[in-house]
Structure 1
Amino acid sequence: MNQKIHNQFDLTDKVAIVTGASKGIGAAIAKGLAEFGAKVVVSSRKQEAVDEVADEIKATGGMATGIACHVGDEAQRSQLVEKTVATYGRIDILINNAAINPVYGPLAEVTGEVFDKIMDVNVKACMLLTNLCYPHLKKQGGSVVNISSVEGLKPGFGLGVYSVSKAALIMLTQNQAREWGGDGIRSNVICPGLVQTKFSAALWNNEKMLGQYERHIPAGRMAQPDEMVGLALFLASDAASYSTGGVFTADGGYVIS
């Protein structure tokens, strides 16, 4: 490649959908992609919440629109893709970040209803939304970035089915990469460690658990949402043109501790 390194991160004219983007990691990634020139569709369940993030992006000179979507709803997934194409004409990047809160407790206490709900949102919805985006990504080549968790690699917080769902998302990513590489579509997965978001508040609000975690890992602290942005930007951009099927951790060394 003759392209200068800094130009490889340029997302000008690229269109990105970020799910679960009203707060936390998703909002941080949406803002980061916009900062590098992408036209960003900010998506989450509530229109007011996604509009707020989209307005923040536009206030700093970026391009964004908010489209409400509950990823677990088939009709809303279709509308998200249709509205994105109607607004921007294409889809180049899909960040599957939306997930539901983990259920704490032993597997022996998990009901079929709880299992189905977690798997439907954390795995099935990601697969079906990406399938809807596939024809659009295929037109010019594109990037899928699935947000999993270190819990999908190394269970440690007693999150049971959540860990199972995140492990399944890793395998989904690798199958996407294998099947769609010939179409110019890359699919990679990011596995964050403990990040200080509302989603994970039950973990870091527990001082005993947080203390044990911070003493356990090489980095000695939990992460902030912004610390997930650089990796997502890399995987979404041409800088990662030879990266597909990859499992990337951003965990302060959790998986090696």
Structure 2
Amino acid sequence: MPRSARYRANVQSAEPLSPTVRRVILALDGPFTHEAGQAVFVEVRGAAGSVRRAPYSIASAPGEHGPGTLEIAVAEDRSSERASSTATALRDLAVGAEVLVEGPVGAFTRSGERRESAALFVGAGTGVSPLRAMIADAVNAPPVPLLLLFGAREESELLWRDDLDTLAHRMPHFQWMASLSRPREPAAAARRGHVQAHLDEALAALGRQALAFVCGPPAMVTSVSAALLARGWNEERIVRDLH
């Protein structure tokens, strides 16, 4: 795994991915390497000396946006602590603003022998960030079946939808399907409910034994893992990350 280090970084761009999530691209001040699926800590310093720090999964494949540049997805903080949260501070930064970045960190990756296995990716919300990085990184890898089961409240919260469609066009061995828990137009939703309700469909579409990479809110990760175990999967085939 690449060694973790500290960097100064500038906000290169910031734009909406959805009504509640912003795509932030950071340009670091030195060489940076990572494995798809890893994360970084981002630190924002306030004018009054306050320091806000939180982990963010890297949503871009290594080198996707150029050397020393990475993408993260920053969700709106709706908690009672939102005024002082790292997410709020990041979302308020202008292009060119400086932050500190430490990383990469984490072992939620398809490195080594994992790249040779078919993969079932299950994600919800910004938990799709590291999965999106792994899928984009697979463009130049030997083809194996890949399937993403993406859970969101409504269609507008399907992050990177155009990117995923483009990747599916470029890689015939990759497909993705969405499940909406609260669709605005229920009749138009192909799949309704939480992602675990559609695991059997996803597994049938994948068509072979695979590794599962599950990332999202703790309750979703626990539920999907339990559902896979109930279907005969063993723990070694389930890789988890919490958001």
Q: Same fold (TM over 0.5)?
A: no
Structure with greater proportional strand content: 2
- TM-score, normalised by the number of residues in structure 1: 0.36
Structure with greater proportional helix content: 1
